[in-house]
Structures are given as C-alpha cells and as structure tokens.
Amino acid sequence: MSVAAIILAAGASRRLGRPKQLIEIAGETLLARAVRVAHEADFAPLVVVVREEAAFADQLIGGHAVLVTNMAADEGIASSIRRGIEAVAGLDCAGAVLMTCDQPRVSPEHLRALTADERAVSGSLYSGRIAVPAYFPASSFESLLQLRGDVGARELLRTARAVAAQELALDVDTEADVQRALELLRGGA
C-alpha cells in the first residue's frame, strides 16, 4: 500500500508578511521543494492544501501533486489537516505523512524513516519536541478529522515514535529565517 503526503501550505504567513510558500531558496520555492522531496520519498498521492489555488498551481512539479483548497484556513492548521485527510481518506493508503512547506531542510530519507512502522504514529524530534513532519497510519485518520483550531496534531504526537531530525528546527517564519535558510542551503544542499 502507498503512503500519502499532505503538504500543509494554507498559512497566511502573517509573521513573514509575504507568502512563504513562494520564497525561493536554492533555485526553487519552498512549496516546490516540499513537493519535490515528498515525490522523491515515493509518496502517493501528494496533496497540497492551499488557501488559494491560483497562486500556487505552477508549484506542483510536473503534476506530481494535487491542489486542495482550504476555504476554512483562517481557523488554523487543524482545518488544513482535516482537508488533507478528507482528500486521502477514501484511497487505499497505509497512512499519510503531514508536512509543512516551510522546513527547507527536510529530506526524502527522513520522510521515509517516519514510515518505517506503517502501523505507528511517528513524528520528527527536534527542539525538544515531537512535531511535523509526522506519519499517521490510516487507523488514526478519524482522530485527525476531529482536530480543531491552530494547534495541529500536537496531542496525537505526544506518545509518537520519534525520529530525530534537529535540522528541521529551521522553519521559515521571519525574514531572519529566510536569510538563515539561504545561507544554509546555498548551492542546493
């Protein structure tokens, strides 16, 4: 069975003041990079949850991903998780990896490591906590559909299997983060 990837890209980028999804680092946008990495990890289907389709349609890397619009994006990340799970719930998937588009150092190897046990919830361990990217087996989809607000799947990850990835502590929320990512990833790393 396949594993789906759900890329959460419906945030308003309020702290940054411009769409982080379209920030270009090492020759590709953050959203295009996330889609590419999920594709290289051999996940299918790839679902990208966005606030508005038109602005991101050209970021899908040759049709490897499907755009899903989250009309309730202002509620917070839980609405995007629900929208992504709704898009894959009826498919024959072992589970889904939830990821954001603002972690430019995520790798296909790390994403695959999250799915080592397709029956167990697994999350990325960095900055002293377990967070996204995270893998959820299909048996947990119903719990994900119950999430509300802007806290995501934090409670579901408290007892998750942890896969260390300190490099994921860099997420792009501010201009200083953009500069740091540009420095770290100069040359396409």
Amino acid 64: pLDDT: 80
- As a whole number of angstroms, the distance between CA 187 and CA 137 comes to 35
Any domain includes 38: yes
- As a whole number of angstroms, the distance between CA 149 and CA 151 comes to 6
Max intra-chain CA distance, the chain? 42
Task: List the CATH number of the domain containing 130.
Answer: 3.90.550.10
Any domain includes 84: yes
The secondary structure of 92-106 as a DSSP string is -EEEEEEEESS-TT-
pTM for this prediction: 0.93
**What does pLDDT average to over the chain?**
92
Amino acid 61: pLDDT: 64
Q: pLDDT-based confidence at 186, cuts 50/70/90?
A: confident
Element (H, E) at 180: helix 175-184
List, for residues 76-110, the tens digit of each pLDDT value: 999 999 999 999 998 999 999 999 999 999 999 99
List, for residues 163-179, the tens digit of each pLDDT value: 999 999 999 999 999 99
| Domains of the chain: total | 1
Q: Does residue 53 have a pLDDT over 70?
A: no
**Host domain of residue 150:** 2-184
Any domain includes 189: no
Any domain includes 160: yes
Amino acid 151: pLDDT: 85
Amino acid 52: pLDDT: 77
Q: Does residue 147 have a pLDDT over 60?
A: yes
112 Cα distance to chain centroid: 13
Any domain includes 66: yes
- As a whole number of angstroms, the distance between CA 127 and CA 186 comes to 23
List, for residues 9-20, the tens digit of each pLDDT value: 998 888 998 989
Any domain includes 18: yes
